[in-house]
Amino acid sequence: MLGKKRYIHSCNVADMCIKLAEIHGEDVKKAYTAGILHDCRKEADAEVQRAEMLSSGYYVDPAELASKSTWHGISAAYYIREKLGIEDEDILNAVRYHTVAHAAMTKLEKIVYLGDLVSAERDFPDVEKYRAYALKDLDDAMYRALKWSIGNLSQNDKKIPVSTIEAYNYYMDRRKKKGDRND
């Protein structure tokens, strides 16, 4: 179902998810499973992704519906549940939200979101900083990753799902409660 580049990415994400799970005390098997499957529908036909997304039973934000690049997360959660028979809500939600996030994410959801962002083949400016943040503190890493993501989306005139904004606000508030600087 995946080309070589996407397969390598998925393996790298799974490896990073294992590493993050070991450091932050999460179930390694769940982290691996969600990491390896997170993009399983990324290369499916767009109309198939759309149909699976709309049949998934998950709420689909209008901004997600307007952006094909987010469809694969919802489609993948549907596929994993319906075709692979995996019913673990932690895994399904980690896959569903790996592109858009949401407030009060579980540890596994944060691990998959961040594992996807900082996997070994990623080479965007400052990726090493984001890797270090993820290894140290998941909540701080989420705040920083969401701030970066929202900045990129807005600079490129892309719609931002409400769940992404709510996630940013949630992790910003957590950061302030801990007394962290807003840098």
* Distance in angstroms (rounded) separating the CA atoms of residues 103 and 167: 4
pLDDT at 183: 54
Q: Is 165 domain-assigned? A: yes
With beta carbons less than 8 A apart as the criterion, state whether 134 and 20 touch.
yes
The one-character DSSP state at 47 is H
In this structure, is residue 91 part of a structural domain? yes
Q: Tokens at residue 104, please? A: 């009060």
Q: Check: CB of residue 38 under 8 Å from CB of residue 31.
A: no
Contact criterion met (CB below 8 Å) for 110 and 167: no
Is 183 inside any structural domain?
A: no
DSSP states of 4-36 as a string? HHHHHHHHHHHHHHHHHHHHHT--HHHHHHHHH
> Is 174 strand, coil or helix?
helix
Task: Return the SS3 of 38.
Answer: coil
Q: How many domains does the chain have?
A: 1
How confident is the model at residue 178, as a pLDDT?
86
List pLDDT tens digits, range 73-123: 999 999 999 999 999 999 999 999 999 999 999 999 999 999 999 999 999
87 occurs within a structural domain: yes
Query: Hey, CA dihedral for 106, 110, 113, 119, is it positive or negative?
Result: negative
- Identify whether 43 is part of a domain: yes
The CATH number of the domain where 36 resides is what? Answer: 1.10.3210.10
> What domain range is 148 assigned to?
4-178
pLDDT, tens digit, for every residue of 22-77?
999 999 999 999 999 999 999 999 999 999 999 999 999 999 999 999 999 999 99
pLDDT band at 127 (very low <50, low <70, confident <90, very high): very high
